[in-house]
């Protein structure tokens, strides 16, 4: 089983898109590699190369649907309430149609449409994830979750913490950028969602047809 975490950026800012790839052996995920920058063609090429040989589970950090009429989805409201109870900022959960989010949402929807074409031939699983919430729900120090995007020493602690979550072999250089940390956290959420022995910290089930993917952390 192959796991991919994608920290997606808007379509004109591919330098901030990170893909990280892990492979599962027994009850651990082993780091294989990460790639950045990644445009849509590069993402699809990488995913298809894996799907050609094994099942692939992909956690995408981007909205994969939007609410008819705009504003929050029910899942956004549910997740905002969840992270607020953890001590995180509810404002970090933004509606997919908000100006700051809309291009990211467009790219996420377009990318999953392309991945679904692969799913007609291969075993590919897609889940929408929120990396910050995935960290906040599992780490003891909520302050680390609040500040890792701005602070390298905090990212270094999170890098070390990943090994306690059975993530093996992540290189130290992954602590240099928050996008690489987010991609690893996206893979963590996707693993807990897909693996029958584990479970996500928070889950909002798909509501077909408008919201076709589970959302978890």
Q: From the CB of residue 208, how many other CB atoms can be counted at a distance below 10 Å? A: 8
Note down pLDDT in tens along the chain; length 217 residues: 999 999 999 998 899 999 999 999 999 999 999 999 999 999 999 999 999 999 999 999 999 999 999 999 999 999 999 999 999 999 989 999 999 899 999 999 999 999 999 888 999 999 999 999 999 999 999 999 999 999 999 999 999 999 999 999 999 999 999 999 999 999 999 999 999 999 999 999 999 999 999 999 9
What is the C-alpha to C-alpha distance for residues 88 and 120, in angstroms, rounded to an integer?
Answer: 39
Q: Cβ(59)–Cβ(186) under 8 Å?
A: yes
106 contacts 11 by C-beta, under 8 angstroms = yes
Residue carrying the six token digits 């920058």: 37
- Rounded to two decimals, the pTM is 0.96
126, 112 in Cβ contact below 8 A? yes
Q: Contact 38/180 with Cβ under 8 angstroms?
A: no
Strands 167-168, 28-35: pairing is parallel
Q: Which of 145, 128, 133 is nearest to 193 (CA)?
A: 128
Question: Which residue, chain included where needed, has tokens 């995920």?
Answer: 29
CA distance 161 to 216: 20
Let me know the angle formed at the C-alpha of 164 by 158 and 166, rounded to the nearest 5 degrees: 110
All residues at 6 or more sequence positions from 204 whose CB lies less than 8 Å from its CB, including other chains: 74, 75, 78, 79, 214, 215, 216
Measured on CA atoms in the order 39, 75, 130, 193, is the torsion positive or negative?
negative
What tokens appear for 187 in the block? Answer: 């893979």
pLDDT at residue 199, as a whole number:
94
Kindly report, residue by residue over 99-145, the tens digit of the pLDDT. Answer: 989 999 999 999 999 999 988 899 999 999 999 999 999 999 999 99
**Strand ranges, E, within 48-190:** 56-61, 124-129, 167-168
């Amino acid at each position: 089983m192959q796991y991919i975490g994608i920290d997606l950026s808007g379509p004109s800012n591919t330098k901030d898109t990170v893909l990280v790839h892990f492979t599962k052996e027994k009850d651990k995920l082993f780091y294989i590699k990460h790639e950045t920058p990644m445009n849509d063609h590069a993402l699809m090429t990488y995913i298809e190369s894996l799907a050609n040989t094994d099942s692939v589970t992909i956690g995408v950090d981007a909205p994969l649907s939007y609410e008819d009429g705009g504003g929050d989805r029910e899942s956004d409201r549910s997740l905002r309430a969840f992270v607020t109870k953890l001590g995180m900022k509810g404002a970090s959960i933004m509606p997919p149609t908000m100006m700051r989010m809309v291009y990211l949402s467009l790219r996420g929807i377009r990318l999953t449409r392309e991945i679904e074409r692969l799913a007609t031939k291969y075993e590919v699983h897609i889940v929408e994830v929120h990396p910050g919430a995935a960290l906040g729900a599992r780490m003891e120090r909520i302050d680390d979750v609040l500040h890792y995007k701005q602070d390298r020493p905090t990212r270094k602690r999170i890098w070390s913490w990943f090994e306690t979550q059975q993530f093996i072999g992540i290189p130290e250089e992954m602590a240099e950028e928050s996008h690489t940390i987010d991609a690893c956290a996206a893979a963590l959420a996707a693993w807990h969602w897909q693996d029958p022995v584990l479970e996500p910290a928070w889950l909002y089930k798909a509501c077909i047809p408008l919201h076709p993917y589970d959302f978890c952390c």
